[in-house]
Amino acid sequence: MERQTVGVVGLGLMGASLCKALRRAGHTLLGADADGHVLQYALLTGTVEKELTEKNADTCDFLFLAVYPGAAVETLKNLAPRLRRDTIVCDLCGVKRAVCPPCFALAEEYGFTFVGGHPMAGRQFSGIKYAKEDLYEGATMILVPREKEDLFRLSTLRDLLKDAGFASVTITTAQKHDEMIAFTSQLAHVVSNAYIKSPTAREHQSFSAGSYRDLTRVAKLNEGMWTELFLDNADNLGRELDCLIDGLRAYREALRDGDADRLKQLLKEGRERKEEIDTEWKA
């Protein structure tokens, strides 16, 4: 893709990694962050070339909002009057119903294009110092366009995402995204965070292997960000938690009753469900 000017608001792990990847691909990066020290670090390390401001926002061909959902909407409100009509704006937030409707409305009012986005990549660490230019290599980007979006605009965004390393794009709706992400991501973070609170966790050394590491990896989350994400998707996440709690209760009752047949059946059902899903994905 020919050289583009890309603005990124929010220079944490996700935003800074995107900057590094697109800089490597030859694009011009402008960056902004609420923390002045983070911005200076980004400038000194060459993560971005210039500060993104209201005065130069009109130079951006693309604008990415790599901040919390509420901040993404407020940021776009402030920058919307400054953007060109041919600018494509995309957020990187983990929920879409809280972001897409107000941002679609702003795009309609000011004439630019907004596409909701959520990269399926990340690390258990946060902050610019953990940013990697290859974070998105081979990853999928979920996109939520408004109805009847110009396909050319989507293809242009796809091309830029390829330059960042993304291998594929999945198109969905805000509702479907939030339903799916409650199960595939948010529930896993809740379970991991709750699991590590067992008193036994302090004594696990020399008694753990891969299962412990896999289950506790995302317990080291950014509580401020995840609190906002969970509350923005409380209906879907609550439903998934209810399902999990009901399932755990069945295992607990089988153990309490010493019911080997019931416990064996529960374990068998879980194994078969996993095998069925894996087979479906391979087909």
- Could you report the per-residue pLDDT of 141-184, keeping only the tens digit for each? 999 999 988 888 899 999 999 999 999 999 999 999 999 999 99
- Asked if residue 198 and residue 167 are part of one domain, the reply reads no
- Asked if residue 134 and residue 10 are part of one domain, the reply reads yes
Q: Note down the domain range covering 106.
A: 5-172
Q: For residue 198, give the CATH number of its domain.
A: 1.10.3660.10
Asked whether residue 251 carries a pLDDT value surpassing 80, the answer given is yes
Helices (H), ranges, the chain: 13-24, 36-44, 69-79, 100-110, 151-163, 174-181, 187-195, 210-216, 223-232, 234-257, 260-282
Average pLDDT over residues 263-277: 97
208 pLDDT band (50/70/90 cuts)?
confident
104 pLDDT band (50/70/90 cuts)?
very high
Q: Which of 172, 199, 234 is the last residue of a domain?
A: 172
- Asked if residue 185 and residue 137 are part of one domain, the reply reads no
Residue 167 to residue 176: CA distance in whole angstroms: 21
- Asked if residue 194 and residue 115 are part of one domain, the reply reads no
Residue 28 to residue 21: CA distance in whole angstroms: 11
136's tokens: 């998105």
- Asked if residue 140 and residue 192 are part of one domain, the reply reads no
- Asked if residue 200 and residue 112 are part of one domain, the reply reads no
- Asked if residue 127 and residue 34 are part of one domain, the reply reads yes
Average pLDDT over residues 77-100: 98
Asked whether residue 124 carries a pLDDT value surpassing 90, the answer given is no
- Asked if residue 235 and residue 155 are part of one domain, the reply reads no
Three-state SS sequence of 191-218: HHHHHCCCHHHHHCCCCCCHHHHHHHHH
Q: Which of 118, 151, 172 is the last residue of a domain?
A: 172
Sign of CA dihedral 274, 179, 66, 112: positive
Q: Cα–chain-centroid distance for residue 23?
A: 21
- Asked if residue 261 and residue 133 are part of one domain, the reply reads no
- Asked if residue 256 and residue 158 are part of one domain, the reply reads no
- Asked if residue 193 and residue 133 are part of one domain, the reply reads no
Query: Sheet harboring 168-171: ordered strands across?
Result: 50-51, 28-32, 5-9, 62-65, 88-91, 113-119, 140-145, 168-171
- Asked if residue 255 and residue 127 are part of one domain, the reply reads no
Nearest alpha carbon to residue 242 among 190, 278, 185: 190
Q: How many domains does the chain have?
A: 2
Summarised one tens digit per residue, pLDDT across range 16-54 is 999 999 999 999 999 999 999 999 999 999 999 999 999
Distances from the Cα of 100 to the Cα of 22, 69, 115, angstroms: 24, 10, 8
Summarised one tens digit per residue, pLDDT across range 209-237 is 889 999 999 999 999 999 999 999 999 99
268 pLDDT band (50/70/90 cuts)?
very high
> Tokens 């990124």 map to which residue?
8
Query: 94 with 68: CB under 8 angstroms?
Result: no
